[in-house]
Amino acid sequence: MSEQEPLTTRNPPMIIGFVCEWAGQLDDYLQADGFLTVLPTVQIVKVPCSGYIKPAWVQEAIQQGWDGAFVCGCAMVDCHYREGNIFLRDRMTGDRNPYLRLKGGKGGRRGVDPRQVRSFWHAGTGGESLIRQIHAFAEDLTGGSVPLGELKPVRRHPGPVLDVSPLNPTGPEPEPAG
């Protein structure tokens, strides 16, 4: 592996990420269409728990032409729903059904290239640090440097639930524009 061939010629690369709402707090960085503000080619799909993610989606994304795909969950053992991240970890490595088909692994020739897939596990806040990891992933995919916008620290409780209370059942009001 002296000279790693870049996996894509697109720069910045198109990446899709499935992110647990409790692990990655990217709300401050999200555009309306789901792309990040600081890395405009990274699409973020928020899911309630990393255990919800189907490995088939990762495979489908790569086959449809995304350059890379990643999943993000809470730190091992600390899953908000107790075991979701352990299940996903085992599915990504092929130890649990339904598993991700990896080239060279259980997936044979039809699987995806392991270099195009990555898993991130975050304890507590995964805002700024998660974006740095995505950025490193993007640079590994292209083999060159990828521009990154300005980061700011995250200041919100994870997950969607605490914003909703009996007094305010629909969640916080959207801030008025301007």
Partner 1 sequence: MNRFVNAMWRAWARVDTWFNKVYPQDYNPMYYLGGLANLLFWLVIGSGILLFLYYKPSLLHAYESVEFLTTRVPYGQAIRGLHRYSADAMVVWVVLHFLRVWLTDRYRKFRTIAWISGIVLLVLTLTVGVAGYLLVWDERSLLLVRMTQWMVGGEQSYLGQLLVGGSKITDATLNRFLFFHIGMPFLMLFFLWMHYIRINRPVVYPPAPVTLQAFGIVFIVCGVVPTVSMAPAIIEVVPKQMQIDWFFQWGYWLAGVFAGAAGANSGVAPYVVWSIGLLLVTCLFFALPYVTQTGYMNVVKVIPEKCTGCEYCYVDCHANAIKMITTPEGINSKGGKRSIAEILPSRCAECGICVGACPFGAIELPQLQEIEIKDRIGLIANLPAPEPAASPAAD
Residues that bind partner 1 (CB under 8 A): 5-6, 8-10, 14, 16, 34, 43, 45, 47-49, 51-54, 57, 60-61, 64-66, 75-78, 80-84, 87-88, 91, 97-98, 121, 123-125, 155-159, 161-166, 169
- Measured CA distances, 17 to 3, 36, 105, 165, 166 (Å): 27, 11, 22, 29, 32
Answer for the pair 42, 96: CB distance below 8 angstroms, yes or no.
no
Question: What is the nearest approach in angstroms of partner 1 to the Cβ of residue 11?
Answer: 9
Tokens of 99: 């598993």
Cβ proximity to partner 1: between 2 and 178 the closer is 2
- Residue 178 C-beta: closest distance to partner 1, Å: 26
In terms of CB distance, is 106 or 178 closer to partner 1?
106
Element (H, E) at 128: helix 128-142
